[in-house]
Structure 1
């Protein structure tokens, strides 16, 4: 898991969804039967009834609250990561703030692009090791790349390439 300081461009005029997501870095899911009140509050804020964090992966919930706070439309059934493949518009190449949708054995995962290296995307997301953080996810797992709709696209919405890293690849984000 990477530290936000490794991505200095994220704090210099980021797209609004990225700025909202960065504010949530470090939120952790409560271990055990007790649900984290912050995450439960996100469900209420996003208008998702009947949600409880211990039984439903919350990467889609994280993105729904980030998108709503940024004034963006949220796809139907946002808890299901693969539904984010209908968010915004198709992106021609990955760029800061794009929504990246990944396949995994038990379904999908969704998060925001902050950078990439030769083999992986660096993804800011929720429910990544039970917390909000940045992880490396193999490019081969990418299912969809979606750009938020902007009135005027921020200049910071562009690819950010990083050099070789020894950070591990995530294999299961739940």
Structure 2
């Protein structure tokens, strides 16, 4: 568990970018865990971030379809 917290705290300061630009780090969190349909930082990303942290720590995390319902 401490490894998970270390990984999460190493990302402090990541935030959405206002306007048409997107924070590439946030988009990469999603892509790294297989959520390739997320291509912006406006998508709520709290659970994406926790899934990414779990993956980095070598823990299992829930998998979701690559195309979630309603996100075509």
> For the superposition of Structure 1 and Structure 2, which TM-score range results when normalised by the shorter chain?
0.7 to 0.9
- 52, 55, 58: which is aligned to 2:45? 58
Instruction: Identify the structure with the greater helix proportion.
Output: 2
Mapping for residues 84-103 of structure 1, pairs under 5 Å? none
Structure 2 partner of 1:123: none
Q: CA RMSD in A?
A: 1.4
Which residue does the alignment assign to 1:28?
Answer: 15
1:74 aligns with 2:64: no
Higher strand content, 1 or 2: 1
Q: Deviations over 1:30-49 (max 9, x none)?
A: 11121111111111211111
> Which of 14, 19, 32 is the matching residue for 1:45?
32
RCO higher in structure (CA 8 A, sep ≥6): 2
Q: Deviations over 1:99-158 (max 9, x none)?
A: xxxxxxxxxxxxxxxxxxxxxxxxxxxxxxxxxxxxxxxxxxxxxxxxxxxxxxxxxxxx
Cα deviation, residue 53, structure 1? 2.0
TM-score (norm 2): 0.77
Extract unaligned runs of 5+ from structure 2: 65-72
2-side partners of 1:19 and 1:33: how far apart?
31
| 1:6-60 alpha-carbon deviations (Å, 9 max, x no partner) | xxxxxxxx61110100100111111112111111111121111110221x20101
How many residues are matched? 63
What TM-score do the two structures reach when normalised by structure 1?
0.34
Question: 2:59, 2:24 → 1: CA distance?
Answer: 24
